[in-house]
């Protein structure tokens, strides 16, 4: 049965970020993820995890100026040094928090550079990050983002991620398969899972349209969760959705599935 992790960047936003850990535990979660930890002290975050009996599943590598519109810099030819410095910072946090995987975001195209230049930098940066993570026993996951929500994003299709994994050629590199982004870009959810499950290191979910909780849109999640189980996926499924109308009521669909 599925194991679900609460994404604290999306859920329980009715309270401050540091208060969300307790609410996640009260709701029955034993695992959490979120976008970024970097504005908080790593030891304070670890304390919140420990006191609430929570496991940190994942967070993103530093992705540039998020508030300013950046959505990753791994494919940015003009920001290689910044990206690589971010890898070191992320590893430091991961070791304190106990996270076993970090997510890489390619970001948007940079004017003045070709797709070939973006791709070459992305491969080099992903390989660099994977090697640095491997030194500490960590895994790298790579996520494609739909270009409707974020115009200009460089990695928008899952086939790009699987190609990137092959080119990097290291055993600790996997895909982060976000069901919402995949549905918007290409569909073929079950076929992709069946073909590439060995390369998928993390799964996230939201329904479409609206990016709300499962059961609010067009995706057949009961079928999909059963298929994920049948394929032998043993990791967590991150709930990275916009709760409607609020977090607590948005969790009702989980009663049909396992405990967390």
Query: Could you give the CA distance from residue 72 to residue 83 in angstroms, rounded to a whole number?
Result: 9
Tell me 201's DSSP state.
E
Catalytic residues: 143, 240
Reported in sequence order, the residue ranges of the chain that DSSP labels E, i.e. its strands, are 3-7, 31-33, 55-60, 101-105, 139-143, 173-178, 200-205, 236-239
Contact indicator for 103, 5 with CB cutoff of 8 Å: no
Q: Is 93 exposed, middle or buried (0-12, 13-18, 19+ CB in 10 A)?
A: buried
Query: Could you give the CA distance from residue 52 to residue 79 in angstroms, rounded to a whole number?
Result: 38
Residues 6+ positions from 29 with CB-CB distance below 8 Å: 4, 5, 6, 54, 260
């Amino acid at each position: 049965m599925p194991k679900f992790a609460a994404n604290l960047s999306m859920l329980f936003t009715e309270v401050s970020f540091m208060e969300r850990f307790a609410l996640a535990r009260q709701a029955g979660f034993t695992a959490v993820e979120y976008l970024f930890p970097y504005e908080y002290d790593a030891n304070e975050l670890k304390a919140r995890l420990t006191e609430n009996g929570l496991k940190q599943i994942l967070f993103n590598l530093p992705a540039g100026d998020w508030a300013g519109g950046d959505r990753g810099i791994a494919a940015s030819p003009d920001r290689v040094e910044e990206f690589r410095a971010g890898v070191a910072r992320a590893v430091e946090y991961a070791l304190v928090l106990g996270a076993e995987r970090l997510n890489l975001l390619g970001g948007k195209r940079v004017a003045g550079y070709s797709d070939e230049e973006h791709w070459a930098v992305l491969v080099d940066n992903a390989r660099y990050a994977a090697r640095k993570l491997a030194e500490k026993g960590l895994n790298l996951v790579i996520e494609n983002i739909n270009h409707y929500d974020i115009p200009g994003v460089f990695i928008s299709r899952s086939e790009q991620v699987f190609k990137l994994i092959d080119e990097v050629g290291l055993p600790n590199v996997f895909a982060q398969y976000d069901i919402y982004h995949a549905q918007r870009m290409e569909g073929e959810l079950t076929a992709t899972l069946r073909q590439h499950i060995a390369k998928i290191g993390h799964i996230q979910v939201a329904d479409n349209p609206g990016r709300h909780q499962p059961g609010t849109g067009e995706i057949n999640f009961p079928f999909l969760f059963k298929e994920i189980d049948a394929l032998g996926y043993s990791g967590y499924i991150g709930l990275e959705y916009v709760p409607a109308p609020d977090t607590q009521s948005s969790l009702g669909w989980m009663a049909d599935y396992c405990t967390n």
